[in-house]
Chain A
Amino acid sequence: MSQTTPPAVPAGFGPLRIPGWAGFDPARPEGGGLRAHWRGFATAVRIGWATEANWTDPLLFFIYSVAKPVSAALILVVMLEVIGGASSREYRSFIVVGSALWAMVLSGVAGLAWSILEDRERYRMIKYVYVSPSIFLVVMTGRAVARVAVGAMGALITLAVGVVLLGVPFDPLRIDWLLLAIVTGLGLVAIVSIGVILGAIVMQTRQEAWSYPEAVAGALFLVSGAVFPLAVLPFAVQLVGLLTPLAWWIEGSRRALFPDGISSIGGPGSAWLELSGTVEPSNLVTVIALLVTGAAGTLAAGLAFRASERRAKDRGLLDQTTGS
């Protein structure tokens, strides 16, 4: 009796042969390298953007996105006008730039934490995201970046309103573009790092954690020199500010945009003056300080997120909703 030879099927894959299936890809569980990470990141950014933006038409979304930062800047500008004084005009640039940049901080710091809470508590998708082949941190960072983009849009419009309507002097030829590019890149990394740390925290907490990012942002707002020079704070609080990358990022951005403007870190009565003996930090010192504090923050963020992820997995927190 003759026996027909079956088609060649790799050992162990026979039962899985189904029409239209290209076969098992052994590389899949091992991950596809940088390209796959990039694909996961880009998809997360797209999803994040859609979640943020597709609830209404683009015009209304634009208005909603810029109303908050522009109003925050206007509050400060009116406060400035109410008091007036000789330094009013110079200080106006100071607060417009600070409040514009802060729109990005708010979005970036809250972005990742809120994405985790939303996916776990409201949409209840986090467990599915977690078991997908992408790296969890990469996906969640992608979601956060989408929020930073919304914040950046608000920041740009606030600056434009400041220049066009509020008389903030703007001379493209006087801007130190190289410094601006460097501090913006480093600053964005620092912002996302703080967001990652908060993401690690809210992974362990209940849904009341919605307010954590705003509380942290509020505390950082006080010590970052966003809308007033650090010199008005007590000495010890100024030292805390000098340890945060955001203070250096805002200082660097201001120095790039308005080279002769008021320094938020230095100046009379500042801790910087007392410690360094110089009136204000130079551009190089600002960049180095941003690099060092940002690197420390990024390292801490990576470690914190890893530890938090492991603990959440051990205790089943990824699959837990805590509706109140």
Chain B
Amino acid sequence: MSGQDAASSAAGRGPRPELFVGRAAASPQIAADWSRRRILLTDLRAVRGRAYPRINGLFREKSWVFFEILLPFLTTSAFVFVYRALQAPQEYIGFVVVGGAMTAFWLNVVWMMAAQLYWEKDQGNLELYFAAPMDLMSVLLGMALGGMVMSSSRAASVLVVASVVYGVTFEVDQWLLLIVVFGLTLSALYGLGMILASLFLMWGREAWHTTQLMVEPVYFVSGLNFPVARLGMLGALAVATIPLAVGLDAIRQLAFVGSDVALLPPLAEAGILVAMTAVFTLAARWSLRTLERRARIEGRLTMRWQ
């Protein structure tokens, strides 16, 4: 019998039940015995609750909007001018612009997924997450969904502005595949973000330095401004492990038909992204549980500024 059923039968026959955590039940144990439906609904509420500030706050903090669009745009512009100085074909300017738009997602994964639990620990919120009656995966999923919406608006702005300013024209034959690949890239990216978030649960100041390490080196091996195939074996390794690398390679092939410098066909890369999404999500769940237990044992969950 579920807790809710027990509570109602107790309410019908026995003495008047008391309120335990907002529920009428005969005892705290019965009140704490939740049905599957209730658990699922609570977790979904947690997902919505964690996604809410990111979606609702999309344009609330004006300085964030400005800087989140300006920073990738400035970086993109610098690389565009490098190609112009080299008198590169216009196609390469397009590569840089697409890469620049995708940096909005990668920066969001690094700063607002991977490092988020570390910031929460620093601000004293992490213990509240653990004390709340929900699965921590719901928090990560909420962060990911909110982050995707938030970054999409930034990426779209960078893409539109940079395309107009630098005269980029896209040639797309397979819109559906392009949309699917883009969606898969995001799911794989945020799956990786969930794994990283659990790793950051253990870390102190090294978290900050690790986020720095995950920007330029990842841009380089992912071929952010050039076709990743040019990196040879290193590029192949990146395509096999980093969603940004494989996603960018596929998106470029689909957005600029005729570019002949890809590592694999788009369909094969879509398959890699599906596999990455599944593996990263499962690994994130395992990693979160394992590292949470370890962090509890070592007392790292509430340790700040070390």
Contact = CB atoms under 8 A, between A and B. Distances in A.
B176 interface: no
Interface stretch (B44-52, B152-160, B201-209): B201-209
Contacts of B204: 55
B61 interface: yes
Main secondary structure of the interface of B (DSSP, over half): helix
Contact of A323 (B79, B123, B205, B224): B123
Interface string A311-324: 00000000000011
Q: Give the size category of B's interface with A.
A: 35 or more
A245 to B, nearest CB: 19
Interface in B212-263: 212-213, 215-217, 219-220, 224-227, 230-231
B279 interface: no
Given A78-B226, A123-B305, A211-B67, A68 B83 contact: no
B282 interface: no
B92 A82 contact: yes
Given A82-B230, A83-B86, A229-B85, A75 B75 contact: no
Contacts, number: 105
B78 A222 contact: yes
Contact of A222 (B77, B216, B220): B77
A230 B71 CA distance: 20
A76 B63 contact: no
B174 interface: no
Interface string A89-107: 0010001000000000000
17 contacts: A55-B206, A55-B209, A64-B210, A64-B213, A67-B213, A75-B216, A75-B219, A76-B82, A78-B226, A82-B88, A82-B227, A83-B87, A83-B88, A83-B92, A85-B87, A208-B67, A222-B77
Given A51-B205, A64-B210, A71-B216, 19 more contacts: A55-B206, A64-B212, A64-B213, A67-B213, A68-B212, A71-B217, A75-B216, A78-B226, A79-B83, A82-B88, A83-B83, A83-B88, A123-B305, A208-B63, A211-B64, A215-B71, A227-B78, A228-B82, A233-B81
